[in-house]
Amino acid sequence: MKVLVFTSLFPNSVWPTQGVFIKERMLAFSKLAGVALKVVAPVPYFPPIKMGRRWQYRQVVRKEVVEGMEVTHPRYLMTPRIGMSLYGLLLCLSVMPHLKRLQKAFDFDVIDSHFVYPDGFAAVLLGKIFKKPVTISARGSDVNVYKDLRVIPHLLKYALKRADRVVAVSQALADAIEGLGIAKGKIAVIPNGVDGSKFFMESQDEARKRVGLRSGKVLLSIGHLTRNKGFDLLLHALKILVDLRKDDDLQLIIIGEGAMQGELEQLVVSLGLHERVRLVGAMPHHHLRGWYNAADVFCLASDREGWPNVVVESLACGTPVVATKAGGIPEIVNASHLGILTERNPHALAIAIGEALDRTWDRESIAQHARRHSWDQAARDLATVFEVARANYERTHSAVLAGLL
């Protein structure tokens, strides 16, 4: 089977950490017998003017190989902050010539798109043009956020209803998709996995030496520095903990970058936590293992999630989790020996983190549980989705053709 992976979120030469979960899933799939894939990861067009952050789009190479997978980056037209309802159509029209050229050497059987809008919407249109079945993998924010916008929900439903199969990374997300009127039988739940060769238990002392952490209690949180991730709530929770426990050795490490960085830096100072909090910025995915192992507790205060890989990766390293009950998190932290789920407010977070710090955890048991979520299993499940999509597509179009004759 030949699969065309279509997503604007694939890692590239400028942003190597974006969409790592897509790369990991498709890398595992590429290793299955009898399959071949190519990745088309469109990038917004930007003129040759060195101005603003968006100028970096121009620095993305046109073609590269990512862990053995051939990836091309055709440009597409996008008008920043306006005309969002046209993004899907513009994406389709912009990349269509590139796909026509690619098809001559790689006549793909299935278009596998990631993120419902605009990528999935454009993929559905491309599927009609190239007469190929289309699968859409929903990731969480594409459904949970966009469904509340003005026009986009109609485009979401259009794409999901016309896709041949839909993949959700959690049951919670599958339920949300079904709530949009998508047939339950069309949706497959395939959680993200974890690579046991990259994320595993190590000596905490050795890990701390490697990442340069001092002794004491260490909290860790990883993610894009955006409002919905709740890093501000986590800082307020830390302040409550410090005032209540008088722990001189308690520290919080935040890994990631994003629009809230300046605001979070100011909040750290205003709360008097500048000696306890480190915002270390973005980090290569393969460097995270040391930080997970160095931490006593991993924290995630999200408002919404699909299936956060950071939670599974933390557990794979034997580190317990304190998290909100957002999206698929309860499906990951589904037993008390893995962590603590809590409400999304500073006081509740502080209580849960304090309890986690005081409890003795069986880190080996935590890591063993996480290893059940493998990318290999996700890849096998995905292959079944592609086979069903192709078979249903061929059966449907054969019936249509027979009716015309």
Kindly write down the DSSP assignment for every residue of 199-232, as one continuous string. Answer: S----HHHHHHHHTPPSSEEEEEES---GGGTHH
Q: Is residue 80 part of a domain?
A: yes
What are the tens digits of pLDDT across the range 242-269?
Answer: 998 877 789 999 999 999 999 999 999 9
Residues 215 and 360 in one domain: yes
Kindly report the backbone phi and psi dihedral angles of residue 280, in degrees, each rounded to the nearest multiple of 5, phi listed first. Answer: -95, 0
Residues 91 and 55 in one domain: yes
Q: Is residue 145 part of a domain?
A: yes
What are the tens digits of pLDDT across the range 338-370?
Answer: 999 999 999 999 999 999 999 999 999 999 999
Residues 40 and 76 in one domain: yes
Residues 362 and 243 in one domain: yes
Q: Is residue 198 part of a domain?
A: no
Q: Which residues make beta-bridge pairs with 134? A: 111
Residues 379 and 363 in one domain: no
What are the tens digits of pLDDT across the range 174-210?
Answer: 999 999 999 999 999 999 999 999 999 999 999 999 9
If we measure between CA atoms, which residue out of 86, 4, 18 comes closest to residue 256?
18
Residues 180 and 243 in one domain: no
Average pLDDT for 104-115 = 96
Q: Is residue 229 part of a domain?
A: yes
Q: Is residue 119 part of a domain?
A: yes
Kindly indicate the confidence band of residue 403, based on its pLDDT and cuts at 50, 70 and 90.
low
Q: Is residue 131 part of a domain?
A: yes
Question: What's the CA gap between 388 and 36, in Å, rounded?
Answer: 17
Can you give the pLDDT at residue 405? Answer: 47
Can you give the pLDDT at residue 148? Answer: 63
Average confidence score pLDDT of the chain: 92
Residues 105 and 250 in one domain: no
Average pLDDT for 23-27 = 96
| pLDDT of 137 strictly over 90 | yes
What are the tens digits of pLDDT across the range 30-77?
Answer: 999 999 999 999 999 888 777 767 778 889 999 999 999 999 999 998
Residues 381 and 364 in one domain: no
Q: Is residue 199 part of a domain?
A: no
Residues 151 and 254 in one domain: no
The pTM assigned to this predicted structure is 0.90
Residues 177 and 251 in one domain: no
CATH code, domain carrying 16 = 3.40.50.2000
If we measure between CA atoms, which residue out of 140, 156, 127, 176 comes closest to residue 389?
127
Question: What's the CA gap between 293 and 206, in Å, rounded?
Answer: 9
Tokens of 34: 């009898």
How many domains does the structure of the chain reveal? Answer: 2
Question: What's the CA gap between 108 and 36, in Å, rounded?
Answer: 9
Average pLDDT for 332-339 = 97
Q: Is residue 341 part of a domain?
A: yes
Residues 316 and 261 in one domain: yes
- Report the phi/psi class of residue 69: left, alpha or beta, with left for phi > 0 and alpha for psi in -120 to 50: beta
| pLDDT of 396 strictly over 90 | no
Can you give the pLDDT at residue 46? Answer: 83
What are the tens digits of pLDDT across the range 11-23?
Answer: 999 999 889 999 9
- Owning domain of residue 40: 2-193+375-404
Residues 124 and 222 in one domain: no
